[in-house]
Amino acid sequence: MQPIGTLRLGVNIDHVATVRNARGTAYPDPLRAAEIAEAAGADGITAHLREDRRHISDADIEGLMASLKLPLNLEMAATAEMQAIALRHRPHAVCIVPEKRQEVTTEGGLDVARQENRLGDFIAPLREAGMRVSLFIGHEPEQIRAAARIGASVVELHTGAYCDFHYEGAHDKRDAELARLAEGAALAHALGLEVHAGHGLTYETVAPVAAFPEVMELNIGHFLIGEAIFLGLDAAIREMRRLMDAARAAG
């Protein structure tokens, strides 16, 4: 079983690339954002190379692999193309996510239970090449158990619904979702999986998730890049770090 320990922050830099790509310019540079994130106390950088390359590009991944000092967590779909890219670059970690072309963002978790054999075969060479393999899933026990069975090291629990309920003012639903996330984190930990969480987290929603003792890493992007417009990226990340650490310390 993984020891319960400190909470890491992975900063997702996808939306720096979204702003760049909106104009087709060379700036703002996601790599520069990664350097600022490192100085601000991030423990890792996350980047999602989507099939349609709507934000992060192949050249971004090459640049990050060449000069990033922090560990890179490459988010990707379970496709042959992405598997080959991961095997070529060998980032510290890969996080397998479901991907639909039309979606605005990753809408739900992977259905590991229904594709156990396929995903098991997909992650085997990544694990053998030394990458930490994470599966982005919901909190359903059958998904967590399936992730453990196929040999994932990590599950990242999808916090999107919890955050949506918070901002919709549906506080009963939010609290029920949070309770299911807590149960999922405890089950995953008991099964020997390292537990991460992410999607949609903000200053208002991060604390209860950061307080789950089993969660070892939060991956946060969109809100931080938005907040950077007002505070600057360094200050936006430092504030998130402060809120996470305070919530973890308070239990």
- Residues contacting residue 229 through CB under 8 Å, at least 6 positions apart: none
Q: Which stretch in 58-66, 170-178, 219-227, 232-240 sits in contact with ligand PXP by CB under 6 A?
A: 219-227
Whichever of 132 and 251 has its CB closer to ligand PXP, that residue is 132
Residue 26 vs residues 4, 13, 59, 119, 180: alpha-carbon distances, Å: 42, 15, 11, 36, 42
Residue from 199, 205, 227, 237 binding ligand PXP (CB under 6 A): 199
Task: Work out which of 193, 201, 233, 237 binds ligand PXP, going by CB under 6 A.
Answer: 201
b/e 186-224 (16+ beta carbons within 10 angstroms → b): ebbbebebbbbbbbbbbeebbebbbbbebbbbbbbbbbb
Q: Is 219 in the site for ligand PXP (CB under 6 A)?
A: yes
Among positions 92, 222, 238, 241, the unique one binding ligand PXP when judged by CB under 6 A:
222
Contact 48, 73 (CB under 8 A): no
- Under the criterion CB under 6 A, does residue 60 sit at the interface with ligand PXP? no
Number of residues that bind ligand PXP (CB under 6 A): 19
Stretch that binds ligand PXP, among 16-24, 36-44, 60-68, 198-206 (CB under 6 A): 198-206
Our answer to whether residue 171 is catalytic in this structure is no
The catalytic position among 15, 48, 89, 166 is 48
Active site residue 48: yes
Dist CA 110 CA 59 (whole Å): 27
75 annotated active-site: yes
- Choosing from 158, 177, 199, 217, the catalytic residue is 199
Q: Is 14 in the site for ligand PXP (CB under 6 A)?
A: yes
- The two counts, helices (H) then strands (E), for the chain are 11, 8
Q: Tell me if 47 sits within 8 A of 61, measured CB to CB.
A: yes
106 part of the interface to ligand PXP, by CB under 6 A: yes
Maximum pairwise Cα distance, the chain: 47
Contact positions vs ligand PXP (CB under 6 A): 12, 14, 48, 75, 95, 97, 105-106, 136, 156, 198-201, 219-223
